[in-house]
Structure formats: structure tokens, C-alpha cells
Structure 1
């Protein structure tokens, strides 16, 4: 049985001008063979040789073999670039001659040509290879990471009420709760974050903040920098709304209050009218 979407060892049964026709090793079958195009043959390839090839389908929906290594295999996740968007769906670069299809129903956001997104490879109801952005079921929860480790991941979904869903190392499931997101992030974007906690089921919560005093130091420096850029005054105080603080400084109100408290303690700023200013 041929394994669509995976690597398989097949035997060269015969060679013709079109290429090599491959079959299951030792089966003795001379029909139901798969073509390996002649452009991929070399002088060492001859009848009886066993080749490791990847199985996919050509433009006419026929099984075909290739020695090339695709960027993704069946049931796996990869970060692929959108090559084209048509009226039937998107086509992704997965390293093979025929681009990988993604139907609209498997897209979680409107895609942009030239951008990269995390996708999984599956076999659709028509027995064809296809891709999906709905990758949560393909992610694992058995990472070897520990709390406070810094990790790299890619955002694969955003739910405004919850936060940003991230695939660490393109394989492990994680979430950045909305209150721990710094700045603006988008689906398909790389993120560098710290593991805040690991649940009993292995799911990971991330934060884009440093630990304790390091975070306050960074926020304090951010406030001082913004004060200097605004002639020593910012119209922000502990009564400002969380939205106003986030828009101006890209930090939560809680972080703002902690950093202002430290700056006041060290006599670097003072309250002035409806805001804060650098203390002379």
C-alpha cells in the first residue's frame, strides 16, 4: 500500500523515457506502479534498486514519487509561505513542483501573499493532500521545558477575549493570555516569550514579560524615555484608563503603577497636575 504524504521505500520495477516506475519491494507486481520523473533519476538508478521517496499527487490527481524533501509531511506542522491566492483557496510553497492547496474553509484569517503561516498537512475527503491553519489538534503537550524558560514560537490563532495561541518550536501548544501580551501581534508572527506556568495536562501559559524587578526596571526605563521625548511631561497618572496607558506606553496599568512607584521612590519623577514629570 502506498503511503500518501509520507516517505516510503519503493523498488524500481522498470525504467522508461518518462522516468522510473516504482512498486512495493518484493511484491512482484508490474502494474499499479508510481512514476518517479526522469528529471530526478541519476546514473546509479537501475531496476531493482530501493529508493526512499515521498508520495504525493500530480495536477491530474495521480500518485507520483519524488526524491525531493518537502517542507511538511502528513500529520506534521510547518511554517509555509503563501505563493498565490485564487478564487478556490490559497497555494503554499512546500518545496515540491506542485504547490500545496489550502481551501478557504481551513483558513482562520484572511491570508496575505508572501507571508508565512503555520499549517498542518492532512488528507481531505477526496483523498488529496491539503493543508489547514486549524492546527491545535496536531500540537503536543509533552514538552521538556520548565517554568521561566524563554522559548520561541509562532502565533497560529488569536481570540480577543482569551489571548494569542502559540506553537512552540512548531510542535507544542501554548497560550499567551491577553493580559500578558505586549504590543501588537498577529497570526503568523514569531514571538519570544517566557513560560509563566505549565498546567497539569501539559499545556503552557506564556508571558511576554520578564520576571519581577527586571520587568519593573524595563517599564521604568520606558516611562523615563517617553518623558524625555515629551519635554519631561506625560499626561498619565494612576487614574488614567488602562487603554490610555497601553496606547501610550504599551504596558498594562498595573505595570505602569509599579514602575511609577519605583520612579517616585528614587525621586526621578513627581506628580504634576494631571500627569507625571521628570523631577529636576
Structure 2
């Protein structure tokens, strides 16, 4: 069976002026595909086996190539945007024909020249296309463990869940909403994160914040900087509402309280009726 979007080893069953026809075996000539003459190795003969990739040409005909594409069916890789058109974006797949990223498969509008994480699939018209909705194509078999540091790219955001990340462009991960606190992260951004949990299904839960003890030091320095920015007195305390703290400090109320407590213990701040100031 000829497999669109995949590499497979096929047999030369017929030679013509413009190339050779390949089939699954010398006996099965009813289903065959053309390998153009410029792709045919020298001295190739009927019965020889060749490893090829199958895709469709500009006339929507199945065709073989000995070139290796930048991604195979159901794989996830970063591809460069060659051109943005009325129907979507054409991506450089490493073949003579670019592959389409339809508008409805874009999680954000892409720009010519940028690299985008996407997965290769076959659409309803039996054509190869790519999608930025890579969730179902990512692996859950990562080599990572709790507290490992990882790098990844944000490929989707959710008001309910948080930000979905492809670690190493391969592994499925999530930064929960509670770990974000107003951090300015967008689809396509690369992030450094810490694994806070490896779920039973293999998916990774990430945090862009440090361990509690380390994060308290970072948050404490931020509080001191904000005190200076407010001319010496931060105009609220750890009694303020979670919404105000999140808006002004990009921290949860519990993180703010921990950092304030640490600074008080170190005698770096004092709390007054007006707010918090340096000691």
C-alpha cells in the first residue's frame, strides 16, 4: 500500500523517459507512483528497491521523491513560513512543493519568514497539510523528572487551563493558570521552566517560577524595587486583595505574603499605616 506523507521502500516496476514507476513489489503493478527522472539514481534497473517519500504535486497527483522532508506524517517540527496567501500560509517542507498551513489550523496569524511549530496531517481532501494545533501529536514519553529544567515553546493558551508547551518541540506539557500571575507570555514564545509534576499519563506540568525558597528571594527583590519605584512607600500591604497584588506585583497573595515575611525577618522593610517601606 502506498503511504502518503511517509517514507517507504518501493520497487522499480517500470522505466519511462520521464522517470520510473515504483510499487510495493514487482508483482503489484496496479498501484504505482512516479519517481521523476531527476530523482532516479544512475544505473537504476527494474527490480531495484528505493527508499522514497510520497506527497502530491501541484496537479494533486501522488509523486515520489528521494529527498528527505523536514517532517513526516504526524511528526511535530518547526517550519519556516515561505508565503502568506488568501487561504493560509505556505511552509517550507524541504521539498519542491511547499505545504499549506490553513488559516483554520493557525492558533495565531503567522508572518512570512518566521518559524512555526506544526504537525503534518492528511486533510479531508487527502492532501498533506500542517496544523499549529499540535496537542494530539506530542509525545508523553519524555526522559524528564520532577525538578528538571527544560526548554519549550508555547503553542496554545487557554483561559481555563493555562499555557500549553511543547518541551524540546516534542513532549506534551502545561503551565497551569495558577503559575502565570500576569506573566507576559504569548504563543510562539520560548520559555525556560521547571518540571513540578510528571503526570501518570506522562504529560509534564511546568512552572516558570523557582522553588519556594528561591522564589521568595526573587519576589523580595522585586518588592524592594517596587518600594523604590513608589518613592519609598509601597501603597499597600499583604492585607491587600489578591486582585491588587496580582495586578501590581504579578504574584499570588500567598507568594507576596511569604516574600514580605522574609523581608520583615531580615529587617529590610517595615509595615506602616500607609504601606510598606524600607527599614
TM-score range, shorter chain: 0.7 to 0.9
Matched, 1:62 2:67: no
1:260 aligned partner: 260
TM-score normalized with structure 1 length: 0.86
**How many residue pairs were aligned?**
275
Give the C-alpha shift of residue 265 in structure 1: 1.0
Determine if contact 1:147/1:195 at 8 Å carries over to the other structure.
yes
Distance of 1:213 and 1:77 partners within structure 2: 36
Q: Deviations over 1:44-103 (max 9, x none)?
A: 453355332221111111122223322211011112233333222222222222211122
1:14 aligned partner: 15
Distance of 1:267 and 1:255 partners within structure 2: 18
Distance of 2:251 and 2:36 partners within structure 1: 56
1:86 aligned partner: 85
Distance of 1:34 and 1:209 partners within structure 2: 54
Determine if contact 2:193/2:208 at 8 Å carries over to the other structure.
yes
Q: Deviations over 1:164-188 (max 9, x none)?
A: 1122223322211111126111122
Give the C-alpha shift of residue 163 in structure 1: 0.5
Determine if contact 1:117/1:187 at 8 Å carries over to the other structure.
no
Q: 1:70–1:31: structure 2 CA closer, same or farther, 3 Å change rule?
A: closer
**Pairwise mapping of residues 137-216 of structure 1 onto structure 2 (< 5 A)?**
137-181=136-180, 183-216=183-216
Distance of 2:66 and 2:132 partners within structure 1: 27
2:222 aligned partner: 222
Q: Deviations over 1:12-62 (max 9, x none)?
A: 54363x4x3241364164984313352x456x4533553322211111111
1:120 aligned partner: 119
**Pairwise mapping of residues 42-57 of structure 1 onto structure 2 (< 5 A)?**
44=42, 46-48=44-46, 49-57=48-56
Q: 1:67–1:222: structure 2 CA closer, same or farther, 3 Å change rule?
A: farther
How well do the aligned residues superpose, as a CA RMSD in angstroms? Answer: 2.6
Structure 2: 5+ residue stretches without partners: none
User: Secondary structure of the equivalent of 1:119?
Assistant: strand
TM-score normalized with structure 2 length: 0.86
Q: Deviations over 1:108-140 (max 9, x none)?
A: 333344433322211112111111222222223
Determine if contact 1:15/1:46 at 8 Å carries over to the other structure.
no
Determine if contact 2:78/2:116 at 8 Å carries over to the other structure.
yes
1:5 aligned partner: 5
